[in-house]
């Protein structure tokens, strides 16, 4: 079930508690000859995505409409007819309201949103299919109160770069609240503003980049259902912008999440979709990352030929990267990234010598601190697998030192995994590194 953020938003606007809404719905039902016995727990279920039966959705509209002094439709409270097709709507007003309701629920730390599990199967695939296939948005113009200018759009782009750098330095836990607050205070009013089609496409692209960063931060905070919904929003914004390259970048984020969730066949399929649909808009950096992640997925599936084929494609694309020709979003594909991705694939294929060669090359290449921690963690794993405990201990010490001050659940996962392997080695040379990791893990997020 999808959390009903629209109902949550109207509840907040109405200033009514869960218990009070249930009581008013029961009362409204009695006026129609219905015997209802709802309590606050029922409202909690509605917010989690359950749709009440019969006339109850209409009663909810009636009760809340009286509170907010306007007529409410079922769609306005997220209780429209189930099973109705999702259209790529133009104008995007319906999507904008759903998106901003999610941002608001995240900012307020609503449990039914923040703790929602990621969807799998068809619900996970539909947003990717809709991005790849017609209909396209023929016109994204909108009439609103605030006139949107290219200066506003430049501000959104600058904010995206700022929050991305904050994420790299401090982690997603510390950054998420800030980027979500910015989306609510700055991006939402612009999306509801006034703009012609051309300006609107730039606006949706800039907002999509910001929403993708919010998704990255949610993923880094272990809020996977929330992260997935941000990525799906960013994909919808990318489609509205007409920028196929941005959509392929967002799908790369979904591929990475699929790998983490061990949905390896989904990771392969998503990467194929991005590689196929982006066409000439696919940059070399993004192609290299997509092929490298495909290689990891194939290796996990035990498909050695498939993994090696993707490794060759990734390395070939990496050789064609020209930094000045890449969009801002693909800046994460720094020198050495493909090496560490390939090292992980080769490690899972059992080719330890080749894996170590690639991991060492990745560590020897300059990178931001976050990326360097991941590279050092991979090299430590390989060194331990090869029985080189002394070297692994030294590598892990540097990793633990660089991880200090970063509020990231993903980095904590890496630290824990490295520590377990260090302890399993039983070597005195690894004890200092294990102690440093313990110290880093004691810092609360």
The confidence band for 352, taking pLDDT boundaries of 50, 70 and 90, is: very high
Burial class for 261, CB neighbours closer than 10 Å (0-12, 13-18, 19+): middle
Residue 350 covered by a domain: no
The confidence band for 440, taking pLDDT boundaries of 50, 70 and 90, is: confident
- The pLDDT value given to residue 86: 45
- Helix pair angle (93-107, 172-182), 10° resolution: 130
Together in a domain, 193 and 76: no
In the structure encoding, which two tokens stand for residue 151, read together? 């200066």
Look at residue 142 and give its three-state secondary structure: strand
Together in a domain, 72 and 172: no
Q: What is the pLDDT of residues 73-114, one digit of tens each?
A: 888 888 886 544 444 433 467 788 889 989 999 999 988 899
Could you say which of 227, 242, 257 is where a domain stops? 242
Together in a domain, 106 and 170: yes
Together in a domain, 46 and 185: no
Together in a domain, 378 and 400: yes
pLDDT of 341 > 80? The answer is yes
The answer to whether 101 and 6 are in contact (CB under 8 A) is yes
Together in a domain, 59 and 165: no
Together in a domain, 117 and 238: yes
User: If DSSP states are collapsed to H, E and C, what string results for 178-218?
Assistant: HHHHHHHHHHHHHHCCEECHHHHHHHHHHHHHHHHHHHHHH
| 340-349 mean pLDDT | 96
Query: In which domain, by residue range, is 51 found?
Result: 5-84
- The pLDDT value given to residue 404: 82
Together in a domain, 37 and 111: no
Residue 299 covered by a domain: no
Whole-model pTM: value is 0.84
Q: What is the pLDDT of residues 156-174, one digit of tens each?
A: 999 999 999 999 988 999 9
Together in a domain, 61 and 102: no
The more confidently predicted of residues 428 and 212 is 212
Residue 125 covered by a domain: yes
Could you say which of 84, 108, 142 is where a domain stops? 84
The confidence band for 223, taking pLDDT boundaries of 50, 70 and 90, is: very high
Residue 345 covered by a domain: no
* Cβ count within 10 A of residue 308: 18
Together in a domain, 105 and 216: yes
- The pLDDT value given to residue 88: 40
Look at residue 147 and give its three-state secondary structure: strand
Q: What is the pLDDT of residues 37-82, one digit of tens each?
A: 999 999 999 998 888 988 899 899 889 988 888 888 888 888 886 5
Residue 351 covered by a domain: no
Could you say which of 69, 84, 99 is where a domain stops? 84
Together in a domain, 98 and 234: yes
Residue 107 covered by a domain: yes
Q: How many structural domains comprise the chain?
A: 3
- The pLDDT value given to residue 295: 98
Residue 265 covered by a domain: no
Together in a domain, 47 and 179: no
Residue 233 covered by a domain: yes
CA distances from 225 to 102, 111, 117, 218 (A): 12, 11, 4, 9
Q: What is the pLDDT of residues 170-199, one digit of tens each?
A: 899 999 999 999 999 999 999 999 999 999
């Amino acid at each position: 079930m999808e959390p009903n953020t629209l109902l949550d938003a109207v509840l907040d606007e109405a200033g009514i508690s869960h218990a009070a809404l249930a009581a008013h719905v029961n009362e409204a039902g009695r006026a129609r000859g219905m015997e209802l016995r709802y309590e606050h727990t029922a409202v909690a279920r509605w917010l989690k995505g359950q749709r009440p039966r019969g006339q109850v959705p209409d009663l909810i509209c009636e009760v809340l409409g009286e509170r907010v002094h306007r007529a409410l439709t079922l769609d306005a409270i997220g209780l429209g007819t189930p099973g109705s097709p999702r259209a790529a709507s133009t104008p995007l007003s319906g999507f904008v309201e759903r998106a901003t309701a999610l941002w608001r629920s995240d900012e307020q730390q609503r449990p039914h949103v923040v703790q929602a599990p990621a969807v799998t199967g068809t619900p996970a695939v539909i947003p990717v299919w809709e991005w790849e296939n017609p209909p396209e948005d023929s016109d994204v113009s909108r009439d609103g109160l605030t006139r949107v200018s290219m200066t506003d759009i430049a501000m959104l782009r600058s904010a995206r770069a700022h929050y991305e750098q904050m994420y790299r330095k401090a982690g997603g836990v510390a950054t998420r609240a800030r980027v979500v607050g910015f989306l609510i205070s700055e991006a939402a009013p612009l999306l509801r503003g006034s703009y012609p089609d051309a300006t609107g496409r730039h606006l949706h692209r800039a907002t999509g980049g910001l929403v993708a960063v919010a998704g990255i931060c949610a993923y880094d905070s272990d809020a996977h259902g929330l992260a997935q919904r941000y990525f799906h929003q960013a994909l919808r914004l990318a489609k509205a912008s007409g920028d196929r390259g941005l959509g392929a970048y967002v799908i790369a984020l979904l591929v990475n999440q699929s790998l983490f969730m061990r949905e390896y066949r989904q990771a392969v399929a998503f990467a194929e979709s991005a590689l196929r649909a982006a066409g000439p808009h696919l940059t070399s950096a993004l192609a290299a990352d997509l092929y490298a992640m495909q290689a990891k997925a194939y290796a996990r599936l035990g498909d050695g030929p498939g993994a090696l084929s993707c490794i060759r494609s990734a390395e070939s694309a990496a050789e064609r990267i020209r930094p000045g020709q890449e969009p801002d979003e693909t800046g994460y594909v720094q020198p050495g990234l493909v090496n560490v991705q390939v090292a992980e694939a080769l490690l899972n294929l059992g080719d330890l010598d080749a894996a170590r060669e690639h991991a060492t090359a990745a560590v020897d290449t300059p990178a931001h601190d976050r990326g360097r921690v991941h590279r050092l963690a991979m090299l430590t794993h390989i060194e331990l697998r090869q029985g080189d405990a002394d070297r692994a201990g030294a590598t892990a010490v540097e990793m633990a030192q660089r991880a200090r001050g970063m509020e990231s659940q993903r980095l904590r996962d890496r630290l824990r995994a490295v520590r377990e392997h260090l302890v399993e080695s039983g070597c005195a040379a690894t004890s200092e590194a294990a102690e440093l990791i313990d110290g880093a893990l004691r810092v609360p997020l």
